[in-house]
Amino acid sequence: MALFQFWNINRFPEVFHINREEVMCLAKIGGTATYHRCLKNLNDWKYLCYLPSYNPYKGSKIKMFTFETSSDQALNGNKTSIEQALIPNTNSTKQIEDNTKTKLPKTENDVLIFFKSKAWPSLEAKKFYNHYNSIGWRLGGKIKITDWHSTAENWMLKAKEIKISNSHINGEKRNTPEDEDFLKTKKEKNYSEPL
């Protein structure tokens, strides 16, 4: 059935080229030995004429016979010809990428312009650009950034949260980890006292 589908794709020519990987994938054949045995058997049983190509850039030729009511079939002799190398058509129906998405910024100036349009300082834009440029424009070191504008807006939101958490709470400044004494120890110690 796979060979018939390739014959159909090529609009039923007398002779057409096939690519081994494509035929094996379409026919769900796992091994090359099985593939060659099946083609050899079909050739021996006169279902088709298999003309192998020993050139890896040029596919093998297949001649499919049309089975009609006549008693004999006219076979063409095995001929070789120099033709163009085959290009596999397995990925011809591949999804086309959405080109409307914004690409990564080409220069630091693109980021500066975006941050200025959102009324953010240029220092924050430089921090953003340097950070993501140094890690290859990836999130978590793994996922490639597809929309840098959204990532920049998330950066701005995170910066606001950090600013609020570091700001004064009820008029008192929060203690930084250096100021806090988690062990509740005294600065001046009296070594004459027992533990």
Residues 178-192, mean pLDDT to the nearest whole number: 70
CA dihedral 105, 108, 113, 116 (to 10 degrees): 120
Q: Are 7 and 62 in contact (CB under 8 A)?
A: yes
**What average pLDDT score do residues 100-109 get?**
80
The pLDDT of residue 103? 78
What percent of the chain is modeled with pLDDT above 70?
Answer: 72
At residue 99 the predicted structure's pLDDT band, cuts being 50, 70 and 90, is low
Confidence of residue 111 (pLDDT cuts 50, 70, 90): very high
* Rounded mean pLDDT, 55-80: 69
pTM value > 0.75: no
User: What's residue 70's pLDDT?
Assistant: 59
Per the CB < 8 A criterion, the answer to whether 132 and 145 are in contact is yes
Task: Tell me the mean pLDDT in the region 40-58.
Answer: 86
pLDDT at 66: 75
Neighbouring residues of 13: CB distance < 8 A, sequence distance ≥ 6: 7
**Is the pLDDT assigned to residue 100 strictly greater than 70?**
no
Q: State yes or no: pLDDT of 80 exceeds 80.
A: no
Q: What percent of the chain clears pLDDT 90, i.e. is strictly above it?
A: 22
CA 119 to chain centre: 36
Q: Torsions phi, psi of 113, nearest 5?
A: -65, -45
